[in-house]
Amino acid sequence: MTEIEVCIRPVDLPHGPRETMARLRGDGRYALLESALTMPGQAQWSYVAGPALATLYTDERSTRLDREGRCIGEWSDPFDAIAALAPSAASVHVAGERPPGMNFIGGWIGALGSDLARHLHRLPSRAETDPPLPAMWWMAADQVLAFHHASGRWWHATARGAADRWPWSTPSRQQAWGRTLQCARGPLPARHGWHAGKLAQRMGRGAFEAGVQQIRDAIADGEVLQVNLTRREDAPFEGDAWSLYEDLVAAHPAPFAAFIEAPEFAIASCSPERFVQMRGDQVQARPIKGTIGRGADAHEDEQRRQWLAASEKNRAENLMIVDLMRNDIGRVARIGSVRVP
C-alpha cells in the first residue's frame, strides 16, 4: 500500500488567493482554483497549488509522465496512466489541523479534452488537431495554499510519498515550499496587458443549419437522444493570459474559476456550475441549463427568475441535462442510489 503523509498548518499570508497567485506564477508551475463568487455549501475555499515537480501529458501518440524535464513513464492508454499514478490502495496520514471544508490537500490538477472520450467510446475521429492541445494534461501538486473566504485565513499543506511511486517525492522539496511562502509575501510583479483580435467562427451559418437538420433526422430515426452541436470561435491573442484571467473574473465572478498555465497553453476558466464532485462513495453533479441576464434591480431579477421558471423551452433544457447526468451517474452507481431533488 502506498503511504502519503500530508502536513497541514495555518500560515499568515498578506494577500488573497488571486493576489497570491500573481506573485507566484512565473516562479514555477502553479495553478489557481478560485471561488471568485462564494456560495454557501459549495464555494467557500480557494486553492493555489504548486510548483509542480511532474506533469502528465497525453497527445495522439501516448501519455507521458515528465519529471524535472525527463520522461520517466509512458502509457498507450491515458486511463492506465491515471490508474498507475493514483492507486486506490493509498494510505493518507494527515498531521496537523485540517479545517472542515478544506477538501484539496494535494494531488493532481489538470484538464481533460473532449477527444479523451474516444478512449472510452467507439467514436469516429474527425477532429482537427489545431491548435495541438493535449487530450489530457495534469500537474502533480505536493504543496497547496488553501484560503477560507469566510474567515480570511490561510492553511499550508505539503505532501510526501514514496520516491518510487509518487512523482513529488524528493528531499529538495522543502526548499521549494519555503520559497513559495517567501514569494507569496513578496512584491507584486508589474501587470502586463493583453489583446484579443476579432473572433472568427470555424463553421458558417449554412453548415450549422445543415448540422441541426442532420441531428433532427438522427433523433427521429432513434440513433441518438441528443447531440451538442458546437461552433468553435478563434481569435488571435497577444499578451499575458494571467491578465486576461484577472479581467475575466473581475467582470464575471463565478464560484468555480480556475487558471492553469503550461508551457504550450493556458486555461482561464470562469464557470458557474459544478460538473461533478466525488467524496468517498458519494458523487454529486449540479448542471445548469436555461439562463437569462440579470435585471437592473432586485425586482427585475425576481421577474426574470419567474419568467425563467415558467419558460417551457428553458425548463425542457434543464430537465434534459439533469436526466442526462442522472443517466451517466447511474451507469457507474449502485442501482437505486441516484437521487434527483
Residues noted as catalytic? 273, 289
| Residue 257 host element (H or E) | strand 256-261
Residues 6 or more apart in contact with residue 219 via CB below 8 angstroms = 225, 226, 227
Side-chain-side CA neighbours of 223 within 13 Å: the count stands at: 9
Q: Quick one: the chain helix, strand, coil %, rounded to 5?
A: 25, 30, 40
CA distances from 131 to 57, 71, 134, 234, 265 (A): 15, 23, 9, 10, 10
| Terminal-residue alpha carbon distance, the chain | 38
Count the residues in the chain.
Answer: 341
CA distances from 216 to 31, 210, 228 (A): 41, 10, 12
Residues 6 or more apart in contact with residue 301 via CB below 8 angstroms = 294, 295
Is the Cβ–Cβ distance between 239 and 193 less than 8 Å?
A: yes
The DSSP call for residue 191 is P
